Chains A and B, each alone.
Chain A
């Protein structure tokens, strides 16, 4: 038998998706900027290509990262992806070895059993058949988990699973039908001819006892072909587009292409690479503390793909970056969200299917029109020259303890410094950036930059991680920017300050913008370890919680903020520490209102432990030390 009409749906689907993916890749490549094109070309002939192949195997097929975080979920993804890959690979080899001629059309491999019903009689053939059955059983076990996950997501260890739109459901159903229909089609054929291995053979033999196997097989081959065809045709407008796109993404990333702050090919490829696996849902504090369940990154990606208005979703996020850390595909979720924040409201636009297949090129982001800003009231002030500048930041002015402690530490270290916003300075610009108003932020940045330039300083110390991040990333300054924890660490290292050991149990909360945002994890903990008994919490480093007070979320209500703060504080104070230490004025303020435990910034703890220069420890004279204390 050479041909049968039932293969037509499969063939249409297969050739459609192949042509579509090639076209789409060409369009994406064309839309890349010139330097990025060069990077991609260099990557293609360089080490990036090998790295990508390895990563594609480890992540796209084996799903190593998901396996690490959640074994059952990882197994589900692996069995479907890797299993299907093996089935295609070994199926092609099978068709190649056992058919009359080599290099067969793809349908010959996919429907091999239909065209070779008598296959599997010799020992080698049956051994090969055993392997194919094993792979099919592997996929079916994953499929069982997938179906169970839809009904009861806790089965795979997930609290929530992503919600789907209608077309996703159709695609999902067709995907689910592919493997059972293959199983039944093969089983009936095997049952009729008395062939097949442990799965198809025994199931077929049993079915043949009470059903006309010969007649039953044919409809299932049709079903198999139709579900494959439907799946392929729906693939570009559903989340399954991530299957081809992710390969492209991995290669682009390894070639050194970055997201940047404008929408473009790379951000679009990332958007399409999201498989809606739902890992970001479980990591999101808005989800598990505040019960806001429609704004998570998976939904943002979906809304962008569907050309929906995402301005509400994009702004309702703490930008804590927890999902960035967890995303198994490695999509830069926060950056994509920032790109969306810079855009204006758009119309929901998914009325015709055509647009789903051929999304308008580049972006649907229209530029925000805020009119001219109005910061010309800012007057330049002269602060004089200094080596080290201290910028407390707006938030530190609301928590004067931090500011005063820093002054105490700076004075004790006897460095020459200048407190540039002692009388209340200008905002650093990051809050405006987080609201998507980069143009306005740039004005504040320019103003502050000028002030810093004029001072001739070489080091800028700030108490606020929000300021720290923006000084570091968006100011083009020739000064070294340090968060005060890094600065204190340095003072300790070169012996400029002496400290007592405080016998207090301290747990450290890593602020989002300092930890995940800027990668400063170790210095704060080292400083704390130096002056106190630092204890570990369940939420360390990349997995640390957000206090909920983040300025990044424009939409959240104060009650929801409080819920997040309360949950986070409860988690951190589980072991009853004496102090809940943090390195951010905003975290401090948020936590202080929800917990009975003392909340303190690292600078406060250090200032407390500080040994004044004039105090001599253990010098015997009690009166002297009291006198010395009075002199401070």
Chain B
């Protein structure tokens, strides 16, 4: 049979019931400016780490909010906290604190604290 290059696309459903939104709510509580993010991607565009890898703070922010934490967990450690993202953010989101809080939140979720 000829292959036309069509495949069944991967499931794109976000299952909020099975996702852990604890990390997101922990960050929301400690750093309210997380809510202001409009996912413009300015942070990713200026990111120091992103010039070496496909690290994207915008993507990680979205994933945390959805509760899809597995991909975030290791990637977040690549951040160098240099702070350029905070400076370019048009909404004044304290991005550095979000990264630090997220790392802390993952530890806490490992210890079943959140």
Contacts and interface: CB of A to CB of B under 8 A. Distances in A.
A437 B103 CA distance: 12
B21 interface: no
B48 A435 contact: no
Given A394-B48, A554-B97, A554-B100, A432 B80 contact: yes
Interface string B88-110: 11001110110010010001000
B81 A431 contact: yes
A557 interface: yes
B53 A435 contact: no
Contacts of A260: none
B82 interface: yes
B83 A394 contact: yes
Main SS at interface, chain B = helix
A236 to B, nearest CB: 35
Interface in B42-78: 46, 48-49, 51-53, 74-75, 77-78
B33 interface: yes
B87 interface: yes
Contacts of B100: 435, 554
Contacts of B81: 427, 431-432, 435, 437, 551
Interface in A316-375: 369-375
Interface in A419-439: 423-427, 429, 431-432, 435, 437
A273 B59 CA distance: 48
B52 A377 contact: yes
A557 B77 contact: no
B60 to A, nearest CB: 13
Contacts of A424: 48, 51
A80 B75 CA distance: 58
A415 B89 CA distance: 37
B96 A372 contact: no
B47 to A, nearest CB: 9
A140 interface: no
B89 to A, nearest CB: 8
A559 B92 contact: yes
Nearest to A428: B82
A308 to B, nearest CB: 18
B70 to A, nearest CB: 15
A565 to B, nearest CB: 12
B33 A427 contact: no
B78 A374 contact: yes
Contact of B78 (A377, A394, A586, A589): A377
B83 A378 contact: no
A557 B96 CA distance: 11
B87 A373 contact: no
B72 to A, nearest CB: 12
A444 interface: yes
A440 B100 CA distance: 12
Residue among A370, A427, A554, A555 with max Cβ neighbours from chain B (10 Å): A554
Nearest to A421: B48
Nearest to B74: A374
Contacts of B88: 398
A558 B92 contact: yes
Contacts of B77: 370-375, 440
Contact of B82 (A375, A394, A557, A558): A394
A377 to B, nearest CB: 5
Interface in A367-389: 369-375, 377-379
B96 A431 contact: yes
A145 to B, nearest CB: 42
B78 to A, nearest CB: 5
Contacts of A440: 77
Nearest to B46: A398
A600 interface: no
B84 A378 contact: no
A602 interface: no
Contact of B107 (A371, A394, A426, A549): A371
A395 interface: yes
Interface of B: 33, 46, 48-49, 51-53, 74-75, 77-78, 80-84, 87-89, 92-94, 96-97, 100, 103, 107
Interface of A: 369-375, 377-379, 394-395, 397-398, 423-427, 429, 431-432, 435, 437, 440, 444, 549, 551, 554-559, 586, 589
30 contacts: A370-B77, A371-B107, A374-B74, A375-B77, A375-B80, A377-B78, A378-B52, A379-B52, A394-B48, A394-B83, A395-B83, A397-B84, A398-B88, A424-B51, A426-B80, A429-B80, A431-B80, A431-B81, A432-B81, A549-B87, A551-B96, A555-B97, A556-B94, A557-B92, A558-B33, A558-B89, A558-B92, A559-B92, A586-B87, A589-B87
Given A375-B80, A435-B96, A554-B96, 10 more contacts: A370-B103, A377-B49, A397-B84, A424-B51, A426-B52, A427-B81, A429-B80, A431-B81, A432-B80, A555-B94
